[in-house]
Amino acid sequence: MNAAIHVEALKLTRSRVGVIASLALIAGTLAVLGGITVALRSGNPDLIAKAGRAASLDWPGLLSSAAQVTAVGGLLGCGVVLTWIFGREFADGTITGLFALPVGRGRIALAKLTVYAAWVIAVNLILALGVLILGILLGYGIPNAHAWAGLGRQCVLGVLTGAIAAPTGWIATSARSLLAGVGCGIGLVVVAQVGALAGAGGWMPLAAPALWAMSNGTTVTVLQLALTLALALTFAALTCASWARLQLDR
């Protein structure tokens, strides 16, 4: 199992997809946050009205913007990476070679998910650190207790956003297609946005993490966040089961 994790980690860290996605989620998010701040400082009343809670030039405003960007961009980025982790074996034709390995395919799938989880945690820890540095550079000062709590929620939001991308791995496996997995990721974003607008609130597992972070943890309960984790674990189990039952005749 350790060997499988090592191999999967090498695949991700040495791939262009892993590097580009990491840079996009970290540097891209920070660039967007910087651009939002510059736009708000211009004093455009229409932009300020659209920004809502994120319009304030302080730690709460910065963290609110970060949560909004992570909720959408993070889900898309994580969905692409997880799709690639599973779908590349079919696209590159390397899936046949995995049948000859002494490690079972279910264990290989578990190793892939383990590496993906480690990547998600690492990226979001670095992103939270980047948001901290950005806030200080923007002149917001050393964070107070509420801002530190917000940075913690930002990190947890990123990890939970990576978790709810789990269906993309199962879809990429079931359809044996990278495009199907990417399409699933886009669909998850749409469903999350529609669910939030429809008033499902925290009972929509795909939207609960973002609502939790943007409301400072006041509008979403622990049970509702648990449903998000249950969704992720269910699709992770389905993906491992699908890999365990893979056949070469299709």
- Helical pair 75-91 and 2-13, crossing angle rounded to 10 deg: 110
Each residue's pLDDT tens digit, 112-148: 999 999 999 999 999 999 999 999 998 888 989 998 9
Could you give the number of structural domains in the chain? 1
Is 100 inside a domain boundary? yes
Which structural domain range is residue 209 located in?
A: 2-244
The pTM assigned to this predicted structure is: 0.91
Percent residues over pLDDT 90 in the chain: 48
Query: Which is more confidently placed, 50 or 106?
Result: 106
Q: Residue type at 187?
A: G
Is 189 inside a domain boundary? yes
Each residue's pLDDT tens digit, 158-196: 999 999 999 999 999 999 889 999 999 999 988 888 877
Is 249 inside a domain boundary? no
Distances (CA, A) of 170 to 83, 165, 177, 232: 8, 10, 10, 11
Distances (CA, A) of 233 to 145, 228, 240: 32, 9, 11
Is 250 inside a domain boundary? no
Distances (CA, A) of 245 to 1, 80, 205, 250: 18, 24, 28, 12
